[in-house]
Amino acid sequence: MKRRSLLSALFALPVVATSSGLLAATRSGADIEALRSRWRDFLPGDFTAPSADDELALDESQWRARLDDAQFDVLRDDGTERRFSSPLNDEQRDGIFACAGCDLPLFSSPMKYDSGTGWPSFFTTIPDAVQTKRDYKYGWTRVEYHCARCGGHQGHVFDDGPAPTGERWCNNGVALRFLPSA
């Protein structure tokens, strides 16, 4: 059985049991913490993950040389890609979703789900991979998140996601690079 299938089954059990009222007292977040701590299991064998502690600070010309126009718009200018435009929206393989600007792992494949919104969505993140801040650009408050290593804009987090977290980390696909497991 693939790791993703096994983990999906393990995390579905408490959700199903909770919805029937049987195990409501055992839903403590331990399953999510276990998933968040095992993200390295999904790294490709030849990939060495950078640390969020190794800040990557480049000037605008260095970022423009490193990124294509769409990546620069999202990662450096807080843009948003068009809905349903990212092939990562349909990505189902085991692996890691890393920042397209600096390769910091942000999500593992078991954290991904289909939100129906048109952007890759996740219900949690790799520990210490992102930083959040309040976004007031559209007249209401949203929570924006950025890569903890390079500060690249990734997307927004909402409270309409699935159990067990209830969170939807809505990410621009162009801001990510998918690294399939070996």
Q: Which amino acid is at 17?
A: A
Three-state DSSP string of the chain: CCHHHHHHHHHHHHHHHHHCCCCHHHCCCHHHHHHHHCHHHHCCCCCCCCCCCCCCCCCHHHHHHHCCHHHHHHHHHCCCCCCCCCHHHHCCCCEEEEECCCCCEEEEHHHEECCCCCCCEECCCCCCCEEEEEECCCCCCEEEEEECCCCCEEEEEECCCCCCCCCEEEECHHHEEEEECC
Strand order across the 105-108 sheet? 105-108, 95-99, 176-180
Domain span at 138 = 3-180
Active site residue 170: yes
pLDDT in tens, 54-99: 999 999 999 999 999 999 999 999 999 999 999 999 999 999 999 9
From 99, 102, 150, 170, active-site residue? 170
Cα→Cα distances 152→18, 80, 109, 129, 141, Å: 37, 12, 20, 11, 20
pLDDT at 147 (0 to 100)? 98
pLDDT in tens, 7-52: 444 444 333 333 322 222 233 478 888 889 999 999 999 899 999 9
* CATH code, domain with 11: 2.170.150.20
pLDDT at 113 over 70: yes
Q: How many structural domains does the chain have?
A: 1
pLDDT at 144 (0 to 100)? 94
Tell me the average pLDDT across 155-170.
Answer: 94
141 — pLDDT class (breaks 50, 70, 90): confident
Name the region of 20 (left: φ>0; alpha: ψ -120 to 50; beta: rest). alpha
Radius of gyration of the chain (CA): 17
pLDDT at 140 over 90: no
pLDDT at 23 (0 to 100)? 28
